[in-house]
Amino acid sequence: MLKGIVTGIALVGAAARADAAPVYLQCLLTGGGNSGDVEWNVTLNEETSMASWTIPSIDVAESARAVFTPNEVRWNGSIATFTINRTDLVFTRSIGGGTPHVTSGRCRIAPPQDRAF
């Protein structure tokens, strides 16, 4: 009986770790720059509580601690607060306090890439 309980706990723990694999997203932030929509590549790692992102058009790469809730992932970048809704993948950037400037867009799961490592 005890062996079965221990095995069950180990299986649940393994399943939780499998769900925590990094998630790779391709996002478009509407009106995010002078030229209109801006592409973002976002990696969310719930296991390490980190968000990393690149903006290829302006050669930006950053990472920050993130908060993962059942409904969203939220993090603070160098000039803004970012949120991705975990259900509909709406991506929001809020710049400034008081009455912040808010832009939004949508993400999609990035297609898998063949990688050397």
Number of domains in the chain: 1
Chain centre distance of CA 34 = 24
DSSP secondary structure code for residue 59 in this structure: T
Residue 29 lies in a domain: yes
- Do 37 and 26 meet the contact criterion of CB atoms below 8 Å apart? no
Given a cut of 80, whether residue 20 has pLDDT beyond it is: no
Burial of 26 (0-12, 13-18, 19+ CB in 10 A): middle
Please give the average per-residue pLDDT across 4-10, as a whole number.
Answer: 45
Residue 27 lies in a domain: yes
- In degrees to the nearest 10, what's the CA dihedral of 91, 110, 79, 93? -10
Residue 14 lies in a domain: no
pLDDT of 4: 52
Residue 63 lies in a domain: yes
Please give the average per-residue pLDDT across 3-25, as a whole number.
Answer: 58
Q: Which domain holds residue 40?
A: 21-109
Distance, CA of 103 to CA of 91 (rounded, Å):
8
Given a cut of 70, whether residue 26 has pLDDT beyond it is: yes
Given a cut of 70, whether residue 72 has pLDDT beyond it is: yes
Residue 88 lies in a domain: yes
Q: What tokens does 97 get?
A: 């306090």
Burial 46-62 (b: 16+ CB within 10 A, else e): eeeebbbbbbeeeeeee
Residue 71 lies in a domain: yes
Residue 11 lies in a domain: no
Please give the average per-residue pLDDT across 49-57, as a whole number.
Answer: 97
Residue 12 lies in a domain: no
- Residue 11's pLDDT band (cuts 50, 70, 90): very low
* Residue, of 112 and 44, whose pLDDT is higher: 44
pLDDT of 19: 61
